[in-house]
Structure formats: C-alpha cells, structure tokens
Amino acid sequence: MRIVILLFDGVTALDPIGVCDPLARLPNTEIVFVSETGVPCRTGDGFLSLAPSAAIANVSEADVLLIPGGRPEGIQQCINSEALRSNIKRLDRTTAITGSVCSGSLILGAADLLRGRKAATHWRARDYMAHFGAEYTGDRITRDEKYWTSADVTAGIDLGLAICRHIAGDEIAASIELAMEYDPKPPFGTGNPHNASPKHKSIVAEILRG
C-alpha cells in the first residue's frame, strides 16, 4: 500500500508527521512524502526542513493521499498553483482514501474535491469551506465516502489511527495506538474551541495573524 503525503513551504510540522506515524506502522506500507518540485520544504515555524522523496508529478498513483495544513501563506501558495491542484486531482483518481489534516482541506477544496461534501478543518478556517462548496462539520474527524478530513494539528494522529482501523481493523489499530502510547490528557482543556474562552480565541487569532 502506498501512502502519499504532501509537503510545502509553511506546512505545520505535526500535520504530516502526526498522521504519518500510525500509518507507517501498518504492515506492507510505503510512505512517500512529495512536494510540488521535489525540493525540501520549510515548516511554518521556520525551524525545520522536511525532505520529500519525489516531486508529486513523478508519482503515478497512491492508495492513500493526504494533504496537511500550514501557515496561511503556504496554503495560499498551494491553492494558487494550477500544476499542484492538477496533480492532486490526478492522484485522487487513483486513491481509495483522500484526506487532509487541518487547513489542508482548503487545498482539497481548491482542487474541487470537496464540493457537495461534509468536511472538517481548523476552526479558524471554517468559513472558507463554503467557498469550496463544502459543509463544515466542526467534528474532529469527518468521513464523506472516500474523503477523510480532520481538525487541526493533533487531530492528524486521530485521523491516522482512524484510517488504520479502516484498513486493518480494530485489533491492529488498537495495538498501534498502544505502541504509540497515545493517551492524551491536555493540561488546560482548551483544545476544543467550544470549551475555549473568548480571550484564548483572541490570542490564537493574534498568533495566526503573526
């Protein structure tokens, strides 16, 4: 099984890595990181460089295609690239699962793959979904036929485990969750926007604008 994960300048580091980790533990799995040109990409915080295995145009097919999120300028650059959108649509025609983490759903939307579908995304990007003809769910993970989308950053781990379950069944997916010792207990309980105060939401808005 070939799992293709997109990288781009401005990508949020945990988005591709979080969804990759559980999936990489499945047997007989090949993970292929790609970028538009095949060159390394800087993460949105500027501290990491992630190296793809190939340019997306040089990958002929994928069983699973995953699009991570990132900084607004990185997302916009992907949306503006007709070549990248075309290659995403081309690979989508070969997949059993096409998915996104966080604002990666905006890239899928720009490729016209979410029109008429329900989708998750970062809560700050929710209003953009209607622009692409998609319905924002507010859920941590949303599945609409072969399209799987998740909320922000850490939800990518949940998405990876959910796809593991779909592919390999409960026992394997549960064992992968144990192998990862994935048992999050967030210290503040503000990770869901429904539980966060207006003050914390405004701080997040300032951080994202910066």
Q: Which residues are catalytic?
A: 102
Q: Cα dihedral angle (71, 65, 13, 183), rounded to 10 degrees? A: 120
Q: Which two tokens stand for residue 48?
A: 């990491």
CA–CA gap between residue 75 and residue 66 (Å, rounded): 14
Q: Is 187 exposed, middle or buried (0-12, 13-18, 19+ CB in 10 A)?
A: exposed
Q: Is 41 helix (H, G, I), strand (E, B) or coil?
A: strand
Phi, psi of 39 (to 5 degrees): -95, 160
CA–CA gap between residue 21 and residue 36 (Å, rounded): 22
